[in-house]
């Protein structure tokens, strides 16, 4: 015979002559955990290996705000808490420009500076050089860094 009885937020299960207390505190602790903040990311790139550049920026953003989930969105719906967009284009096989823009909730779009990126000598734009460009874009935008810190606190 099984009998359940509520005692101060706990359940007691009795089987035969033995009773077991099942504490409800575990469920409460789980419900009190904060959801991880979400940073949405949109990427419009006209450069060699565009998926590699977008991935490099996603990784750089994840390093800036490790407590958040950075997710890619193809078409932003306007409901994102923090939406970051990359606009980048190759000017030649060795040179590109790019900038980040971001929007916090329903606030206005803010834009970081346009950054030029050149590779040296006989190298060309490729997936192997995009990490530095991605970090440079974030470092050139202190207002974005502040928005990322705030997003990580929420």
> Per-residue pLDDT averaged across 83-104, rounded?
90
Examine the domain organization and report whether 137 and 120 are in the same domain: yes
* Domain CATH for 47: 3.40.50
State the total domains in the chain: 2
Examine the domain organization and report whether 22 and 48 are in the same domain: no
For 120-127, which contacts have Cβ atoms below 8 Å and span 24 or more sequence positions? 123/94, 124/48, 124/93, 124/94, 125/47, 125/48, 125/49, 125/90, 125/93, 125/94, 125/95, 125/96, 126/48, 126/49, 126/52, 127/49, 127/52, 127/53, 127/56
Examine the domain organization and report whether 13 and 81 are in the same domain: no
Examine the domain organization and report whether 49 and 112 are in the same domain: yes
Examine the domain organization and report whether 55 and 114 are in the same domain: yes
Residue 109 has pLDDT above 90, yes or no: yes
Examine the domain organization and report whether 61 and 135 are in the same domain: yes
Q: Report pLDDT for 34.
A: 60
Examine the domain organization and report whether 13 and 87 are in the same domain: no
Q: Is the pTM of this model over 0.95?
A: no
Q: Report pLDDT for 120.
A: 76
Tens-digit pLDDT profile for residues 133-148: 899 999 999 999 999 9
Tens-digit pLDDT profile for residues 1-50: 444 444 444 455 455 555 444 444 444 444 445 678 889 999 988 888 88
Range of the domain at 131: 38-153
């Amino acid at each position: 015979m099984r009998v359940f009885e509520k005692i101060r937020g706990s359940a007691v299960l009795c089987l035969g002559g033995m009773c077991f207390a099942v504490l409800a505190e575990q469920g409460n602790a789980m419900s009190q955990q904060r959801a991880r903040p979400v940073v949405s990311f949109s990427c419009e790139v006209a450069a060699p290996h565009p998926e590699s550049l977008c991935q490099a920026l996603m990784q750089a953003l994840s390093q800036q705000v490790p407590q958040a989930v950075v997710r890619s969105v193809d078409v932003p719906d306007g409901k994102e808490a923090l939406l970051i967009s990359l606009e980048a284009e190759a000017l030649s096989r060795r040179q590109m420009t790019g900038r980040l823009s971001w929007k916090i909730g329903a606030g206005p779009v803010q834009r970081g500076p346009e950054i030029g990126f050149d590779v040296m000598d006989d190298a060309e734009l490729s997936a192997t050089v995009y990490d530095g460009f991605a970090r440079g874009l974030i470092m050139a935008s202190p207002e974005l860094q502040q928005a990322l810190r705030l997003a990580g606190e929420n």
